[in-house]
Structure 1
């Protein structure tokens, strides 16, 4: 490992705590896990309206911090001698001497180390300033420049500037299009955001096809954001967005109620976010008129972002914002209801046969704990709610929503049962792989989760007129501690009104 790598030695008083939060997969109690599987197998044998047994999960079943933060981490059984400095957080109290020496606060959070930030070398640029999109702070910096009235652009293709190649998604701030105060303010905001900014003195390229003045470099619009917070919306989902936006990124937004979406002046916003919520509650409170109003707003250029259960609503027949459908929902073209003409069996009899075969495989000593027989309407065609587990997703690294992500795969936290079929007309920006490594950690339902989640979409961008519907199947900023997907949300907010 190179110098600068962090080492967490488990031979310390907090070693057990460190292991619990850092290990890639935690082991569930086998007896508890088997009880949930038994309940699942009984539930899928019941009729459509039969009362299901509730699962006993208290919380998510996967919580590795390196994965949540998107950090490359390794586990080793040997313990070689390591020389280095022991880290500690700086004091938060401004009156203490150590706090006066170095605040080390980035994006409102204390850091144990200093990270390079600000304009490199303090050099004034005569052409443009550039900063890469790989840190979440880059989106924060771009946002604060925009709301302070500076003009910011983004490159949809790699650009050649200052004798270096810059990746797609690089932010470009042209000197000639901004006020003379740009240099000082950019440097200050970059330090607050933990971002390095490089100044260049010419727009001409040396080797690359595109430069800072080329067509793929597009000016960004200031995002004006509303977030739905009302009955039927998960308050933990709303709270996670509120905390992350306000405390970590300093993003301004307006909380709105259902009534505002159906009768208020939504044209004043160009981004509306609906956190995870109940699809039934959204259908009841917004109705067809509310959905049609949101569709008209998107057609005029608005960006609608939905998450978790709200994405199941957006993909449903009532809203119909996307050509995707939720697995097992009404209108799902691949929900298992169709039977080929060559098969004489009905969907119900096919599901019953599978259920009975599973029952026959259960040892005799467990038979008394299960139902006597499967219902004629028994089916396992619908997803069981995943109690927070980690899965790999494959990214479309040509799409603007993935600016800042250059690895082909990303491990994500998925909770719930909003499994989304692939969009037939939009872009499937992140999908769960159909083969290869998939499940990483946490509890899954055998014969259900893997079979139904594989090949579905985690993130969809559906064009709606001049605007977008952007659907996350999960809660990408789950409880404010899942950080690895922050850039996807920030890209949707910052780039959606422009692309």
Structure 2
């Protein structure tokens, strides 16, 4: 018995030991790469905890960096690059060999010379390349709750500052390493403060520490913007700080460190890849760094993947934006930390730890720097050639010149040009010229024609060093790889045949497929193959833009009234702010004649005698702050027409009191884009929880904005009682503004806030109606090659298409093993082929404007480009006004730019509404089909949005 018991005990001990070993990873040692300099403190001596045992706050990190820099001044320099919204300083830590640190300014200046082959010839460039170190930008924690990267950053700084290991010394001799200590300090601080206060290190996925609250969600910055999507419009202060520093240093290598997929990711990237990148060079360098990382990870027996999920198409990432500026930009994703916390149970029962996630980032960072050192000369040469070849390519490209016409909104056009200037794109201005063979952005099938710009315009000639980023941001449409599109269309055809209960294949679009800035801003633009010299053009500088804005500011003291034409977005803002200050403002509901001029409907009127004497100073102050043209009327007599300053069609406005839902049902970035828009215009609002709405808090407010969010969560949060309370408030005069998901909520049968129905829903009475298009047989073979609505380009240098991946907004990275099965082309009896819109990954569509409603005041064009980035299409209201619609029988395609589903999107979108006014009792429900200010990029809905806030109390 004793022997048997001993045998059993031994067996269970061994089995338990094997179980424990399977559950945990070997503890990584961060200090094997010495000898280390004794005077340089390790981070742990300052923090008083080991790597991965606790989350470090921003202030703690600053103490660590300060101590290391003080102890190693021969290798380390710290630069402050600007404050965040919450007044945290962003830093760059420059680390290199002492001889490089001593000549940093010279290195930076020589590196800048490599960015322009027009002033630095090949011989001069070669001299710089032979003598300059490569500049490697290592960025950490752009998503504040991806915490492993933040902890990694301190270990990298210490290793480079303290180690005398030969490989580390080689890195320092051949690199100037720029460590970005925190791309998103404010978001990171929210996350770590919360996490440290609740965490126990519990690996159970249901533990509280893995359930970050809505108000915390540290992924985003102060305004709840995703900073890894912001490089297109550079709306946020962190982006502006980083872009300024980026163009001061002009790095050749850039790594953006992220988390937390199921396994580690490093490039090569997945398809699609932005076609403005030089594909052979891009593929070569991704392969070089990818293979180097693979070798290091194989040596550590760590899992990883490449060419899946993370693409290089959208130009706003912190890998694609640098790549379009000559760097090799790369995203690295580690598998722990963040919402996974200190410990996280994987699907197979093993444990992912914060420490192991830090270790993987640490090894990948060091391997990257070693690879950069070994390839210094080749990398610098390609960096120089990147812009040199771009200029050569531009001289033969189809799009050679882009002209931006500011006449629709001078201030908004200047804002767009400022974005281009931050990206170092060369822009010129001409007061008057004729453009040959001009093609309009809004009509992609238009024939070329001469276009006269008698009022002046901005000119972007693409034969410049910044050609690639300029074209990526400005071209009317960015095509995707044909093989990638074909793969997505094949999935779509198979999904159409699946039954309602069958799980559909996921598409591999990682982000939106449209962003061109002129259309996003609602500014007219034209392109041409002709690039003849314009003799009277001048370079646009910061001072020039300030002057150009000032030229349009007009103010003169009025005796009768001030007239603010709705020619700029800020006109409505001026009215809101004047009302808030207690002044009286009115609006002309018809064309107005005053001050010997004609003004369109929606013009604001501020009568002098009905306001306090301080009205003159208030109006002048707003004109200067907002860049407004304000006219003075010194007589009430009208020269023509039936509407003058004293007419019955000049209606008084009421000051809006605005509340916005800020709660668990709400999409954070949607809330953030509204917050940021109102903040930059200094328009006050109150964030409000759903419980406050249910309890009757809306009685003190005239407007409630429901940002995009989950319709079901809105409904479950409000409940039937909350919906009743909401309806009562609207009936009594309140205005409810919904967008995308919250508009779906409004259209639910059990909510009934609109007579509009969601296309393809169970409540859609028109779903079964046949159209002329429906007579065409849509049942295609699953493997039939599809022709996307907007033609992609092919690229022989790219890799094969990636396997299907989950939508990025789900933040789920686990993928099923293997390729999806090929299904026979036999439709399930419950399939909804051709009846339900497939969600589109962002396209600009052509909407038709109803110019008889107050919602379109300030818009006099017949059509308006609008963003559509979902499968939420809305039937026209049967009882209200459909202010923006998609033509039921269009003569040309509705899609202007971006990807749409062939045979689905346009067919089901025809005849639907984009903006609806649903009068309800004394109030209104205003439905937007999409977010009005998506990422701060899209701004064509600015006027309808402010109109919905401002005018409903008067109509």
Equivalent positions of 1:181-260 (< 5 A) are 181-247=614-680, 249-260=681-692
Within a 5 Å distance, the mapping from 1:37-186 to structure 2 comes to 37-82=489-534, 83-90=536-543, 113-120=548-555, 122=556, 124-186=557-619
Deviates more, 1:327-336 or 1:5-14: 327-336
Q: Could you state the TM-score of these two structures normalised by the residue count of structure 1?
A: 0.89
Contact 2:782 2:824 in 1 (8 A): no
What displacement does 1:359 show?
2.6
Shift of 1:250: 1.1
Is contact 1:315-1:326 (8 Å) kept?
Answer: yes
CA-CA distance at 1:251 after TM superposition: 1.0
Choose which of 3, 12, 18 in structure 1 pairs with 2:464: 12
Q: Are residue 291 (structure 1) and residue 723 (structure 2) matched?
A: yes
Contact 1:116 1:195 in 2 (8 A): no
Separation in structure 2 between the aligned mates of residue 266 and residue 228 of structure 1, nearest angstrom:
11
Verify the 8 A CA contact 1:128 1:199 in the aligned structure 2: yes
Q: 2:843 aligns with which of 381, 389, 398?
A: 389
Deviation, structure 1 residue 360: 8.0
Q: Runs (4+) of structure 1 moved beyond 6 Å?
A: none
* Equivalent in the alignment of 1:472: 928
CA–CA distance in 2 between the matches of 1:335 and 1:391? 22
Match of 1:358 in 2: 780
1:348-385 C-alpha deviation (Å, 9 max, x unpaired): xx99x966x3238938xxx9833352211111211111
Residue 115 of structure 1: how far off its partner (Å): 3.8
Q: How many residues are treated as equivalent by the alignment?
A: 463
Tell me how far apart the structure 2 counterparts of residues 474 and 193 of structure 1 sit (CA, whole Å). Answer: 27
Deviation at 1:485, TM superposition (A): 1.4
Distance in 1 (CA, whole Å) between partners of 2:505 and 2:489 is: 11
- CA deviation string 1:193-232 (max 9, x = no partner): 1111111111122211111111111111111101111112
Selected match of 1:460 from 916, 929, 932: 916
> Alpha-carbon deviations, 1:158-178, whole Å to 9, x = none?
111111111100000001100
- Structure 1 position 428, deviation (Å): 0.6
Pick from 756, 763, 766 the counterpart of residue 324 of structure 1.
756
Deviation at 1:339, TM superposition (A): 8.4
Deviation at 1:3, TM superposition (A): 5.0
Aligned partners of 2:497 and 2:827 also within 8 Å: yes
* SS of the residue 2:679 aligns to: helix
Which residue does the alignment assign to 2:15?
Answer: none
Contact 2:497 2:825 (C-alpha < 8 Å) held by counterparts: no
CA shift, 1:481, in A, is 1.7
Q: Distance in 1 between matches of 2:669 and 2:547?
A: 28
| Equivalent residue number for residue 824 of structure 2 | 371
Query: Structure 2 CA distance, aligned partners of 1:141 and 1:8?
Result: 32
CA positional deviation for 1:494 = 1.0
Local SS of the residue matching 2:729: helix
When residues 432 and 339 of structure 1 are mapped into structure 2, their CA distance, relative to the original with a 3 A threshold, is closer
Query: Could you tell me how far apart the structure 1 residues matched to 2:551 and 2:698 are?
Result: 40
> Quick one: distance in 2 between partners of 1:85 and 1:285?
57
Contact 2:663–2:689, Cα closer than 8 Å, also in 1: yes
CA 1:41/1:361 → structure 2, altered by over 3 Å: closer, same or farther?
closer
Asked whether the equivalents of residues 844 and 895 of structure 2 are also in contact (C-alpha less than 8 Å), the reply is: yes
For the residues of structure 2 that align with 1:426 and 1:451, how far apart are their CA atoms?
A: 24
Q: Within 2, Cα distance between the matches of 1:188 and 1:59?
A: 41
Please give the per-residue CA displacement for 1:113-136, whole angstroms capped at 9, x wherever unaligned: 33435443x3x2111110101200
> For residues 311 and 50 of structure 1, what CA distance do their matches in structure 2 show?
27
| CA distances 1:297-345 after superposition (whole Å, capped 9, x unpaired) | 1111111000011101101112111111001112111112x689xxxxx
2:280 matched residue in structure 1: none
State the alpha-carbon separation in 2 of the partners of residues 376 and 114 from structure 1: 61
Q: Against the structure 1 CA distance between its residues 142 and 319, is the aligned structure 2 distance closer, same or farther, given a 3 Å change threshold?
A: same
Cα distance in 2 for residues equivalent to 1:320 and 1:373: 37
Deviation at 1:19, TM superposition (A): 0.8
State the alpha-carbon separation in 2 of the partners of residues 387 and 372 from structure 1.
25
CA separation in 1, counterparts of 2:478 and 2:732?
A: 47
1:279 to 688, 691, 711: 711
Distance 1:145 1:88 in 2: 33
Consecutive unaligned residues of structure 1, counting only runs of 5 or more, are: 91-101, 105-110, 341-349
TM-score by length of 2: 0.47
Pairing partner for 1:436 from 887, 891, 899: 891
In the alignment, the residues of structure 2 paired with residue 59 and residue 193 of structure 1 have an alpha-carbon distance, to the nearest angstrom, of 33
Distance 2:741 2:600 in 1: 34
Q: By how many angstroms is 1:88 displaced?
A: 2.1
Give me the whole-angstrom Cα distance separating, in 2, the residues matched to 1:280 and 1:31: 37
State whether residues 115 and 194 of structure 1, in contact with CA within 8 Å, keep that contact through their aligned partners in structure 2.
Answer: yes
Q: Does 1:481 align with 2:937?
A: yes
User: 2: distance between equivalents of 1:68 and 1:418?
Assistant: 20
Q: Does 1:496 align with 2:952?
A: yes
Counterpart of 1:290 in 2: which secondary structure? helix
Matched, 1:335 2:767: yes
Decide whether aligned partners of structure 1 residues 130 and 9 sit closer, same or farther in structure 2, where only a CA change above 3 A counts.
same
Aligned equivalent of 1:97? none
Alpha-carbon separation, structure 1, partners of 2:731 and 2:650: 24
Structure 1, residues 459-494: CA drift from partner, whole Å, max 9, x if none? 000000011000001111111121121001011111
Q: Secondary structure at the match of 1:7?
A: strand
SS at match of 1:386: coil
Q: Deviations over 1:399-432 (max 9, x none)?
A: 0010000001001111111100011110011001
Aligned to 1:29: 481
> Distance between the aligned counterparts of 2:651 and 2:565, measured in 1?
15
**C-alpha contact (below 8 Å) 1:287/1:318 kept by paired residues:** no
In the other structure, the counterpart of 1:95 is none
Contact 2:887 2:910 (C-alpha < 8 Å) held by counterparts: yes
| TM-fit CA distance, 1:240 | 0.6
* Contact 2:490–2:783, Cα closer than 8 Å, also in 1: no
Cα distance 1:204–1:3, how it changes in 2: closer, same or farther (>3 A)? closer
Asked if 1:398 corresponds to 2:833, the answer is: no
